[in-house]
Amino acid sequence: TKGRFLPTPPSRQLTLADVGGAQEARADLQDVIAYLRDPARFQAMGAKCPKGLLLVGPPGTGKTLLARAVAGEAGVAVIQAAGSDFNEMYVGVGSKRVRQLAEQARKAAPCIVFIDEFDSLGGRRGRPNRSGEEEVTLNQLLVEMDGMAGSEGIVWMAATNREDMLDPAVRRPGRFDRIVEVGLPTAQDRLDILKIHAKSAPLAPDVDLERLAQLTVGHSGAELANLLNEAAIGAVQDDSPVIAMRHIEQARDKILLGRVRAGVVIS
Ligand code: ATP
């Protein structure tokens, strides 16, 4: 477990140009970026950086991408974890992991700690199906966030699609007290996202990304990226030098079929 929670240095990171749409979230994150870039400017004003941000939205809408892009823009390291990293049956293991995470964060500061699938760590205490061990683990996280020494310059970001499932203590001031909404992309957002993912792909002239953006209502960024990737794989299998509209259509059919097989209802 030596390599757990190691920071990704700033040089290997993304920027906001890699994120399509998410206009509101982008705006909400500007001050965190500004702070991490030049903490002294804010400190001179007596301003503290927001300590915890909750990224709320459906799966695949770019929450992880945003956290990494904020780190990239600010030029700080990012440490990634998932709520499930802390779900351990054995007594004390979950809270030990939380301490390890905080320890790595203090070493890497200034940095962003990003916790995906936060519901499985930050869920309500006292729920019937929640074990005592999970509560101990959450308590440890709150202790680490509240702790003073060396926590300056650590911004905690957590992603969830079930904000209502979180323990109210998680949302108190000085913890995850700021909500950043990351919704499904609009048609314009979908076009932006498609363009980002098509940047490194040779497209045939018959591929109309604008039309594709119109036709993909309800698709998340992850689904759009997957669609283009499946199309690219189809083009390779077809020995085609470019991705043509038929590859995208075949990819769409393949994805839809996969969902039918998986028992997902398509509306
Ligand atoms: P989950 O809640 O399921 O963890 P998420 O909101 O964190 O999902 P990401 O992991 O950031 O979503 O997205 C998965 C992938 O989908 C990204 O690596 C990227 O390729 C693509 N993607 C998602 N949203 C966007 C976006 N807004 N712009 C560009 N690409 C996106």
Inter-residue contact 244 to 235 (CB < 8 Å): yes
- What does pTM read for this prediction? 0.91
Does 147 contact ligand 1 (Cβ within 6 A)?
no
* pLDDT category of residue 134 using cuts at 50, 70 and 90: confident
Does 225 contact ligand 1 (Cβ within 6 A)?
yes
Q: pLDDT for 192-212, tens place per residue? A: 999 999 998 999 999 999 999
Residues 6+ apart with CB under 8 A from 44: none
Q: pLDDT for 143-185, tens place per residue? A: 999 886 556 789 999 999 998 989 999 999 989 999 999 999 9
Strand ranges across the sheet with 111-116: 77-82, 111-116, 154-160, 52-56, 178-181
Does 32 contact ligand 1 (Cβ within 6 A)?
no
Q: The dihedral of CA 53, 171, 116, 193: what is its sign?
A: negative
- Ligand 1 centroid vs 136 CA: distance in angstroms? 31
- Ligand 1 centroid vs 131 CA: distance in angstroms? 31
Q: Whose CA is nearest to atom 27 of ligand 1?
A: 20
- Ligand 1 centroid vs 94 CA: distance in angstroms? 27
Q: Whose CA is nearest to atom 1 of ligand 1?
A: 59
- Ligand 1 centroid vs 59 CA: distance in angstroms? 8
Inter-residue contact 58 to 183 (CB < 8 Å): yes
* pLDDT category of residue 126 using cuts at 50, 70 and 90: confident
Q: pLDDT for 34-45, tens place per residue? A: 999 998 898 899
In this predicted structure, what is the pLDDT of residue 266?
55
Does 22 contact ligand 1 (Cβ within 6 A)?
yes
Q: pLDDT for 201-255, tens place per residue? A: 999 999 999 999 999 999 999 999 999 999 999 999 999 999 999 999 999 998 8
The rounded distance, in Å, linking the Cα atoms of 220 and 85 is: 25
Q: Are strands 52-56 and 154-160 parallel, antiparallel or unpaired?
A: parallel
Does 64 contact ligand 1 (Cβ within 6 A)?
yes
Q: pLDDT for 68-108, tens place per residue? A: 999 999 999 999 999 999 987 788 889 999 999 999 999 99
- Ligand 1 centroid vs 68 CA: distance in angstroms? 11
Does 59 contact ligand 1 (Cβ within 6 A)?
yes
